[in-house]
Structure 1
Amino acid sequence: MLAEIGALNWVGERPSLRSGQALDGARAGATANRKTGGPKGPSPTIQPYHRRDALWQVERAARPAGPLFESGFPNSELRTPNSEPLAPMTPEERLVADFGGTGLTVGPHPMAYRRAEMKALGVRAAAELVRIPAGKRVRIAGGVIARQRPGTAKGFVFLSLEDETGISNAIITPDVFERNRLTVVQEQFLMVEGKLEKQDNVISVRAERLCALAITKAETSSHDFY
């Protein structure tokens, strides 16, 4: 339905030092930051690098430089982040790497990158639902983090959808589930439309329509109980 989109890491390096010494400088700077409660501004000896460049710097520090580069890089232009051989990762690439490596991301939630598009579609963020009166027709969307179909629920399915503001809940009746079975059980991100219900401080949307959203290629996961 929507077009697919493409840990901030850093390593510091002193201009006159080799890579191994540069990493020592970064550690010293990090220690100083912890003692002072965090950096107050740009450090004169530590420069920020994007993730790929950080890995490049670590690899360069870990391996022998070889005869060609054993004296270091005298040309300071070679040391600027903009001149490194690896391009910065796109938001999509960071999401794929984060979820692939740890199952979560330390950066923005995937839905945060699509919030403007969601607003254009009339989708409400999870945090907004508390201010909307019961009975109003709404749209919610997010990554599926839980699917439940209790044996005592007479075929009803309960979904938990997560966005960057919180978690929203959807109730799917048996007939709606049967019409959308594959979408409900297989898709990572969903948009659900229906009437808002509020009972005993529990907010949910009784689904009437739902569709899959192509938010990211990252492999997110959910806890499913059938």
Structure 2
Amino acid sequence: MTTFELASADLWATGITADRHPIEFLRIHLDELGAIPAGQLLDVPDGTRITVGGAVTHKQRPATAGGITFLNLEDETGMANIIVSVGLFHRSRKILMNHAAVVVRGIAQVGEGTVSIVADQFTPLDLKSLATKSRDFR
């Protein structure tokens, strides 16, 4: 197995990787897209349009959120919180339901040591050998 295949197999089998995160292998591609690593999101000014990319680890649509969906996106540096409107979720449903990793464009909401990204666009991130599924909650 290649190093990428091994990291992907670890993530699929156990939900974690012992060595390198699979998104690390795509960092050059993400950098070319202008994607900011999750570990640098606190350095972004509030209200800035940004791009991030990573593996979708969680999807939540709480009954009290009025149809808004919350995603957690993980890269090799940390987690990003993504807020998805009802309309964007419906327009991007195929991408969000069929891809283990995505590139997200949106507006950063930075405050009190936390960052959320209000998404306005999703693009699939090709991880053919990353066969993990997100943990989805309602």
Q: Normalising by the residue count of structure 1, what TM-score does the alignment of the two structures yield?
A: 0.57
Q: Which residue is 1:204 aligned to?
A: 116
For 2:13 and 2:120, the matched residues in 1 are separated by 36
Q: Show structure 2 runs of 5+ residues with no match.
A: none
C-alpha distance in structure 2 between counterparts of 1:135 and 1:121, whole Å? 19
Q: Distance in 1 between matches of 2:130 and 2:32?
A: 24
Q: Distance in 1 between matches of 2:65 and 2:125?
A: 27
Distance 1:110 1:160 in 2: 16
Q: More strand by proportion, 1 or 2?
A: 2
Comparing 94-103 and 127-136, the one that deviates more: 94-103
The match for 2:26 among 80, 96, 114 is 114
Question: Aligned equivalents of 1:95 and 1:180: distance in 2?
Answer: 28
> How many Å apart are 1:216 and its aligned residue?
4.3
Q: Which has the larger radius of gyration?
A: 1
| Residue matched to 1:5 | none
Using a 3 Å threshold, how does the CA distance of structure 1 residues 100 and 135 change in structure 2: closer, same or farther?
closer
Alignment TM-score, normalising by the size of structure 2: 0.91
In structure 2, what is the Cα distance between the partners aligned to 1:205 and 1:102? 28
Structure 1's 183 and 152: CA in aligned 2 closer, same or farther, altered over 3 A?
Answer: same
Which of 202, 209, 217 is residue 129 of structure 2 equivalent to?
A: 217
- Separation of aligned partners in 2, 1:199 and 1:147: 22
Once the two structures are TM-superposed, the CA of residue 95 in structure 1 deviates from its matched residue by 2.6
Paired residue for 1:137, among 49, 62, 67? 49
Residue 66 of structure 2 is aligned to residue 157 of structure 1:
no
Q: C-alpha distance in 2, partners of 1:131/1:97?
A: 33
Deviation of 1:110 (Å): 0.6
Give the distance between the partners of 1:209 and 1:115, measured in 2 at CA.
20
2:78 corresponds to: 166
Indicate how the Cα distance of structure 1 residues 94 and 157 shifts in structure 2: closer, same or farther if over 3 A, else same.
Answer: same
Query: Are positions 1:105 and 2:21 aligned together?
Result: no
Q: How far off is 1:98 after superposition?
A: 2.1
Deviations along 1:170-208, one digit per CA (max 9) or x if unpaired, are: 101111111111212332001110111124433111111
Deviates more, 1:200-209 or 1:126-135: 200-209
Unaligned runs of 5+ in 1: 1-88
Give the structure, 1 or 2, with the largest relative contact order (CA under 8 Å, sep 6 or more). 2
